[in-house]
A and B are shown apart, each in its own frame.
Chain A
Amino acid sequence: MLERTPALAALLDGTDDRLIVTGLGSAANDVAYITDFAPRAFTMDGVMGAAASLGLGVALAQPAREVLVVTGDGELLMNIGTLATIALQNPQNLGIVVLDNGLYGLTGGQTTATATVADLETVARGLGIRRTLTVRSDDELTAAHELIATPGDTAVIVVKVAPGPAAAVRIDRDGSRLRSNFRSYVLSEVGR
């Protein structure tokens, strides 16, 4: 099984201009670590279920920029209907990466539905997402890297990862600062 932080690092390799929105918890830690706390990454540590809709708003506002949502299975499941909302808009610059470890990491490792009965790629397809992929191996990781590098319909990539800790970093929890830094980056010339 893939390890979460190296797998995500491989997926994000060479995408230094991409805007990133993360769900709370491990996804936020991993992204902050991999991007070295870059202002182009909006890392949440609350508001479970908001990452995908936040990413949609950014993608629609910045059609010329690539936008990536990085989240976990529990976070996405909390508002899974958002995938239908996104599929209806089908922004051509949006990718959603789900680090699927089948458990709620922040609350003690209780299992989510994906540990047994639920399959997120099937759900994403069923809700209208046109490009989907489940990643279980390094080869599939390479294919996923290619998929998000290719502009087109909104893509959902489910990366099956082993349970295990996220990168041990302390993310910035000052929401106003994160908002202001991200927006300034987007609207500055550097960010274009």
Chain B
Amino acid sequence: MSETATELSWQERVYRVLREHGVTQFPYVPDAGHRFLIEAATADPSVHAIPCTTEEEGVGIVAGAHLGGETGVLLMQSSGVGNTINFLSLIQHCSFPFLTLVTMRGDFGEQNPWQFAMGQAVEPTLNAMGLITLRADDPEQAVSTVEAALGMTQVGGRSVAVLFGQRLLGAKKF
């Protein structure tokens, strides 16, 4: 690994991996944990950074991107997972390959009690809608898990959610 590569943050490496795999549509609902990826996509003239009013739009956009021959990834916070559930019918019923990166709340070290209900329901609800969930709790895992998920979606044709845990992102103290 070159000197520069070792200096890249895990978020920069994740963005690089997504771009190397041809991801060109980045629908998102803002989240502090996704700040780097959102800024990187927004600054990149060769991709579409697409702020959404609600997360289910991102599911529609990723499916539409595939219909049009491109690849998208949905960036959202765990609270947004609940908003996507019925739209994930589209993914399952039509066998769309689908990738989402979810930044977790209501998880390791959470102190805001409003976050636990949805945070703890993320995996069971996504699994119930046919998605494979993969957790990443440290920087190395984050990069390798996104890489693995890209293979599972682009080659394997499945739908996968990568969950970035609060052990990785840091739990907010409020």
Which A residues fall within an 8 A CB radius of B?
Answer: 19, 21, 42, 44, 46-62, 79, 81-82, 84-85, 88-89, 175-176, 178-179, 182-183, 186-187
Count of A-B contacts with CB under 8 A? 121
Of A44, A58, A182, A186, the contact of B90 (CB 8 Å cutoff): A44
Judge whether B51 and A85 touch: CB under 8 Å.
Answer: yes
CB < 8 Å neighbour of B62 from A57, A84, A89: A57
Option from B25, B51, B95 in Cβ contact (under 8 Å) with A175: B95
- A88 touching B51 by the CB < 8 A rule? yes
For window 101-151 of B, CB contacts with A under 8 Å fall at none
Minimum distance in angstroms from A47 CB to a CB of chain B: 4
Complex contacts, B69 vs chain A, CB 8 Å: 61-62, 183, 186-187
A55 surroundings in chain B (CB, below 8 A): 64
> Given contacts A60-B70, A61-B70, A179-B94, is CB(A21)–CB(B89) below 8 Å?
no
Q: Give B148 Cβ to nearest chain A Cβ, in Å.
A: 24
**Binding site of A, secondary structure by majority: helix, strand, loop or mixed?**
helix
B24, B58, B65, B70 pick with most chain A CB within 10 angstroms: B65
- A46 and B93 contact, CB distance less than 8 A: yes
Indicate whether B86 reaches chain A with its CB closer than 8 angstroms: yes
Interchain residue pairs with CB less than 8 A apart (14) = A44-B90, A48-B86, A52-B60, A53-B57, A53-B61, A56-B60, A56-B61, A57-B68, A60-B48, A60-B64, A62-B69, A85-B57, A89-B50, A175-B95
Give the distance to chain B from A22, nearest Cβ to Cβ, in Å: 13
**Which residues from B are CB-within-8-Å of A89?**
48, 50
- Quick one: closest B residue to A67, CB to CB? B68
Q: Which of B85-99 contact A (CB under 8 A)?
A: 86-87, 89-90, 93-96
The answer for the CA separation of A57 and B63 in the assembled complex, in Å, is: 7
Beta-carbon contacts under 8 Å, B55-89 to A: 56-70, 72, 86-87, 89
